[in-house]
Structure 1
Amino acid sequence: MTLENLLSNKRSHIIKRWQDAIIASYPKDSQGFLKRTKSQFANPVGWIIAKEIETLYDEVIRGEDAEKIAACLETIIRIRAVQDFSPSQAVAFVLELKDIVREALGIGPSPEMDALDRHLDKVLLIAFDVYSKCRQKIYDIRVREVKNQVGKLLERANLIVEIPETAPGVRDDNVSTSL
């Protein structure tokens, strides 16, 4: 039986363990809520993790479509990027899949497991790229917001004056455009 078949047969067990590992990275008081509440509206974080982990797992065992993997990762990592996770904590769940798979399948070192490890390392790099883009977007939003706030404060203090398009006393019909 191939590794892909074994991973498909143990799919639900591996996904459950992976989801539990992700939820374990949250504070203790949040873990129970994330596990218990299944509603998309009452628990959007738990719902997104459960939904996207399944899709991500399927894409990872299928293989090489980096765009689909990045799309699955983006939804999960976008949440983790705005929470109090360091970059390594935000993407560590990808590496946890290696141990979960080894334990679930009971397989030692083999060429197939080495290939899966290399593939998961690539997925980890994609996850880090996604995390970096999310953090950059958050930073850009914060900078834009600070600029807007400072501009409004300067306007209120009458320290900003709009400059007219033409100088006072100069009309368009007085300006010669030919040289």
Structure 2
Amino acid sequence: MQLATLLSQKKAAILGRWLTMIYESYPPETAIFLRKEKNRFDNPAGYRISEGLEGLYGALLQEMERDQVLTCLDEIIRIRALQNFTPSQALAFIFLLKIVIREELAEEIQKENLAAEILDLESRIDGLALLGFDVYTKRREKIYEIKADEAKRRVSGLMRKTGLSEDSL
């Protein structure tokens, strides 16, 4: 049996464990909320993470276009960048997939001698992490840009209120 077939057959179990491991990276009260609340309007972060994971999993199985993969990564990484995760924390979820797959398919990997296919899959997962770093960097730059613009607006407003201008400084 080929690895792609096994990954398709065990998709629900793998995605479920992957999602659980991601939720465990959050503080306990947040993890409970993310796990419990399934409504996309009551829990938009959990919904986006779940949708992003499903898209990434599909990308690994079907060789999606780079733009589609970036969109899936952005779904998850945007949230983690806003929550002030460090780059390593924000991207750790990608590497968790390797652990989940190895554990879920351990018996089949040995029995079917799928070591070469697993190495190829893990290389593609590593590639996702590299793309993810680009996404994280872009998101953090945008956050800093927004904060800088807001600070400029505040200073400008204060200067107008006090009757100062940039020229008088």
TM above 0.5? yes
Q: Which residue of 1 aligns with 2:77?
A: 77
CA distance in 2, matches of 1:65, 1:103: 28
- 1:1-179 matched pairs, under 5 angstroms: 1-106=1-106, 107=109, 110-160=115-165
Q: Root-mean-square deviation (CA), in Å?
A: 1.5
Greater fraction helix: 2
Larger Rg: 1
What letter corresponds to residue 37 of structure 1 in structure 2?
E
Per-residue Cα deviation, 1:6-49 (whole angstroms, up to 9, x for no partner): 11011000000010011010001111111011111111111111
Per-residue Cα deviation, 1:65-110 (whole angstroms, up to 9, x for no partner): 2221110010111010010311100010000101111111112571
Q: Relative to 1, partners in 2 of residues 1:63 and 1:81: Cα closer, same or farther, differing over 3 Å? A: same
What is the identity percentage for the equivalent residue pairs of Structure 1 and Structure 2? 40
CA distance in 2, matches of 1:161, 1:101: 59
1:161 deviates by: 7.8
Unaligned runs of 5+ in 1: 163-179
Q: Relative to 1, partners in 2 of residues 1:126 and 1:154: Cα closer, same or farther, differing over 3 Å? A: same
CA distance in 2, matches of 1:151, 1:53: 43
User: What TM-score comes out, normalization by structure 1 length?
Assistant: 0.86
1:62 deviates by: 1.4
What letter corresponds to residue 122 of structure 2 in structure 1?
D
Unaligned runs of 5+ in 2: none
Paired residues in the alignment total: 162
